[in-house]
Amino acid sequence: MTSKIEQQVMASVAVVYTARQLLSRRALEIYALAASALALWQLVWVHKVFENFVAIEKNGLDAVTTYLFVAVTQTHLAVQLTLVVATVAFIFLIVDTVRSASDSSARAFA
């Protein structure tokens, strides 16, 4: 049987642990990526972008490159900033994932 003070201490430890997990770097990266995706969904007609992309991609890689360049440069500043935040968050998530995978494989062989 645990005492009341032990229960309070363990509850405090659980709260601190949960808060640290929710505010960790990886969690913040996921939040930034999710918020960027939602913002893009609100700012851009995503289905129209995909429809146009499908029509353009039939013309080859040069047309796709031009389409992507024009699509990014001819949008509002809010969309461009949202794309930058999403890209940075995605890159950081990839780097963290690769780093943690390499750390775990190094530990497996040690």
- Look at residue 23 and give its three-state secondary structure: coil
pLDDT value at 106 more than 80: no
Q: Taking the CA of residue 108 as centre, how many other CA atoms within 13 Å lie in the half-sphere pointing to its CB?
A: 6
- Give the model confidence (pLDDT) of 20-74 as tens digits: 999 999 999 999 999 999 999 999 988 888 899 999 999 999 999 999 999 999 9
Residue 81: C-alpha distances to residues 31, 39, 42, 67 (Å):
16, 10, 14, 19
Written as one string, the DSSP assignment of 43-58 is HS-HHHHHHHHHHHHT
Residue recorded with tokens 């229960």: 7
Q: CA-CA distance, 103 to 12, in Å (whole number)?
A: 31
pLDDT category, 108, cuts 50, 70, 90? low
- Domains of the chain: which residue ranges? 25-109
